[in-house]
């Protein structure tokens, strides 16, 4: 029924391979030829706070090689050329990725590209959450963390992990079961910090296809689910408190705003119209939706819905490529008339990456029931135009807070919103490579479609360094991104 839905095979086309498997950064001579300096900043004790990006999460997992190439680690390596200071990271146990809790796998291995599609590497994770790491760590990036999690006591309590009340990554290295991420940062008396947080305050909602709730107006984040949008006022209060705590003793730093989700290949890879049909198959499907379409016309005549909504909801297939059929909770609820909320997707909707292996599959053993065609996609597979607007509104508010705080505290700021927009557009050229957001072949993002590739992290680190140099008059070098691979191989 669906012709050539294996469009994903395009990723097997030739793409720019890495120049070297060695992701050790190469120092570039400074443009002005002068010695490296810190300017008005002090990089002697650098502490990094954030979420999975700061941690070096890549290919849907946290693993040693990925952590070593995190943008935070790349920045720290450039600071060390001046200060000789160590930057300690709570490393995973292996390069398989994933987590164990009491011996049970709670997060699977990293992905690798097998020449056709991303698949998990062989092996079982060996990083056990209950095995606590000793010592103090400069990299406090915590995968999954939202803004308010950084100030939440007990977020690293291993006893709460199984109950969903604590974070398994932070549980491995939190200084105590009751501490906060911010408290562990402040305790180190940092002279310089980086903070990139807030992405997960909307990302869970987006990746779930908008199945959560926009919590605007709810000031109690303890009642939020992982797929909800954080109230902008909560974000503002928390973010301000974090920066106040980090700068209380005079520390300087760099912070980043948030990109729009439409910059991420997780939301831009799967087309809204992948259903290829012959005229005969289109006619068969239209016959199947005839009762639904007829019901819409009857309700339009009764005034239950407008002519515009009736047209929007009408299902019509033609020969050639067709949009998938979806459920849309924003449509008028017609359940009283026993009519579901179906429509076909438009270019303004975003089909999530995980739907690529689901659309076009049969339901059970009935070949006439095809997901996304004769059987509409559930809400979780599509971020609709209305849901995209909710995410954009929240992101805009968060970014206004971030810019205001950066200005008030005289901090360096990296505009990742513009950066990611450029990458998603014409791309950014550096060291002979054009970095784009195309899934697998673009070079910037890893195989999960959300987190950067090794080369993507290096590019981001360079942009952070540019922001630091511009603000504090330092003379730090960037790294040659060609020394970082586009993706990791099966074996590391």
| Tens-place pLDDT, residues 381-403 | 999 999 999 999 999 999 999 99
Classify the phi-psi angles of 59: left when phi > 0, otherwise alpha if psi is within -120 to 50, otherwise beta. left
**CATH number of the domain that residue 121 is part of:** 3.40.50.1110
Nearest to 315 by CA among 262, 277, 354, 353: 277
In a domain, 199, yes or no: yes
**Strand pairing partners for 382?**
351
pLDDT at 174: 98
Residues 311 and 340 in one domain: yes
- Can you tell me which residue has the tokens 């810019």? 403
Residues 299 and 252 in one domain: no
Residues 135 and 264 in one domain: yes
Give the Cα separation of 156 and 103 in Å (integer).
Answer: 19
**Residue pLDDT, tens place only, 241-256:** 999 999 999 999 999 9
> Phi, psi (5° rounding) for residue 412?
-70, 145
The vertex-451 CA angle with 492 and 225, nearest 5°, equals 120
**Residue pLDDT, tens place only, 7-23:** 333 333 333 333 333 33
Q: Write out the residue range of the structural domain in which residue 131 sits.
A: 15-268+386-483
pLDDT at 198: 98
Exposed / middle / buried, residue 172 (Cβ in 10 Å: 0-12, 13-18, 19+):
buried
Spell 101-115 as b/e; 16+ CB within 10 A means b. Answer: beeeeebbbbbbbee
Residues 90 and 214 in one domain: yes
In total, how many domains does the chain have? 2
- Percent of the chain residues past pLDDT 90, beyond the cut: 92
* Average pLDDT for the chain: 93
Residues 395 and 430 in one domain: yes
Residues 129 and 141 in one domain: yes
Residues 99 and 192 in one domain: yes
Residues 6 or more apart in contact with residue 384 via CB below 8 angstroms: 210, 326, 328, 330, 349
pLDDT at 9: 31
Higher pLDDT, 25 or 229: 229
pLDDT at position 331 over 50: yes
pLDDT at 19: 36
Query: What confidence tier does 32 reach under pLDDT thresholds 50, 70, 90?
Result: low
Residue 158 tokens read as 């291993």
Please compute the mean of the pLDDT values over residues 172-177 and round it to a whole number: 98
Residues 108 and 120 in one domain: yes
Please compute the mean of the pLDDT values over residues 32-38 and round it to a whole number: 82
Cα of 359 vs its chain's centroid, Å:
22
**Residue pLDDT, tens place only, 406-462:** 999 999 999 999 999 999 999 999 999 999 999 999 999 999 999 999 999 999 999
Cα of 367 vs its chain's centroid, Å:
35
pLDDT at position 60 over 60: yes
Residues 365 and 403 in one domain: no
In a domain, 3, yes or no: no
In a domain, 333, yes or no: yes
Give the Cα separation of 168 and 173 in Å (integer).
Answer: 9
pLDDT at 31: 46
pLDDT at 82: 96
**Residue pLDDT, tens place only, 269-310:** 999 999 999 999 999 999 999 999 999 999 999 999 999 999
Residues 75 and 109 in one domain: yes
Residues 72 and 208 in one domain: yes
**Residue pLDDT, tens place only, 89-135:** 999 999 999 999 999 999 999 999 999 999 999 999 999 999 999 99
**Residue pLDDT, tens place only, 182-209:** 999 999 999 999 999 999 999 999 999 9
Neighbours of 268 (CB within 10 A): 18
> Phi, psi (5° rounding) for residue 218?
-100, 110
Query: What confidence tier does 379 reach under pLDDT thresholds 50, 70, 90?
Result: very high
Give the Cα separation of 256 and 251 in Å (integer).
Answer: 16
Residues 6 or more apart in contact with residue 310 via CB below 8 angstroms: 296, 297, 299, 300
**Residue pLDDT, tens place only, 226-243:** 999 999 999 999 999 999
Please compute the mean of the pLDDT values over residues 257-269 and round it to a whole number: 96
Give the Cα separation of 40 and 31 in Å (integer).
Answer: 19
In a domain, 131, yes or no: yes
């Amino acid at each position: 029924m669906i012709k050539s839905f294996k469009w994903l095979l395009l990723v097997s086309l030739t793409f720019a391979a890495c120049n070297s498997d060695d992701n050790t950064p190469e120092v570039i001579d400074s443009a002005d030829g002068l010695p490296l300096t810190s300017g008005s900043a002090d990089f002697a004790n650098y502490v990094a706070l954030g979420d999975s990006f700061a941690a070096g999460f890549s290919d849907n997992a946290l693993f040693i090689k990925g952590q070593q190439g995190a943008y935070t680690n790349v920045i720290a390596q450039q600071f060390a050329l001046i200060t000789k200071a160590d930057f300690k990271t709570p490393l995973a146990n292996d390069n398989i990725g994933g987590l164990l809790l009491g011996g049970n796998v709670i997060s699977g291995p990293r992905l690798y590209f097998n020449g056709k599609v991303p698949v998990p590497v062989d092996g079982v994770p060996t990083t056990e959450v209950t095995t606590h790491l000793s010592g103090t760590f400069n990299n406090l990036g915590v995968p999954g963390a939202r803004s308010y999690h950084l100030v939440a006591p007990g977020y690293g309590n291993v006893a709460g992990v199984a109950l969903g009340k604590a974070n398994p990554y932070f549980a491995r290295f939190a200084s105590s079961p009751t501490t906060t991420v911010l408290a562990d940062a402040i305790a180190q008396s940092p002279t310089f910090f980086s903070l990139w947080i807030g992405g997960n305050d909307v990302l869970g909602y987006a990746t779930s296809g908008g199945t959560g709730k926009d919590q605007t107006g709810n000031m109690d984040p303890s009642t939020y689910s992982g797929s909800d949008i954080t109230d902008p006022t909560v974000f503002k209060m928390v973010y301000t408190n974090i920066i106040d705590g980090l700068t209380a003793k005079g520390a300087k730093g760099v912070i980043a705003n948030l990109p729009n989700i439409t910059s991420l290949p997780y939301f831009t890879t799967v087309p809204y119209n992948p259903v290829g049909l012959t005229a005969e198959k289109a006619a068969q499907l239209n016959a199947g939706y005839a009762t639904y379409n007829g019901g819409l016309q009857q309700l339009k005549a009764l005034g239950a819905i407008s002519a515009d909504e009736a047209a929007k909801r009408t299902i019509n297939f033609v020969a050639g490529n067709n949009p998938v059929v979806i459920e849309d909770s924003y449509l008028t609820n017609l359940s009283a008339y026993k009519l579901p909320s179906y429509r076909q997707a438009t270019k303004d909707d975003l089909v999530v990456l995980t739907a690529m292996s689901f659309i076009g599959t049969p339901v059970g053993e009935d070949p006439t029931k095809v997901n996304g065609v004769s059987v509409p996609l559930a809400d979780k597979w599509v971020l609709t135009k209305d849901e995209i607007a909710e995410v954009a509104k929240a992101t805009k508010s968060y970014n206004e807070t971030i810019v205001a705080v950066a200005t008030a505290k005289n901090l360096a700021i990296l505009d990742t919103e513009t950066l990611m927009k450029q990458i998603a557009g014409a791309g950014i050229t550096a060291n002979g490579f054009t970095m784009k957001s195309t899934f697998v072949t673009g070079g910037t993002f890893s195989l999960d479609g959300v987190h950067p590739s090794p080369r993507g992290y290096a590019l981001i680190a360079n942009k952070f360094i540019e922001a630091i140099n511009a603000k504090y008059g330092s003379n730090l070098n960037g790294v040659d991104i060609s020394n970082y691979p586009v993706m990791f191989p099966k074996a590391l």
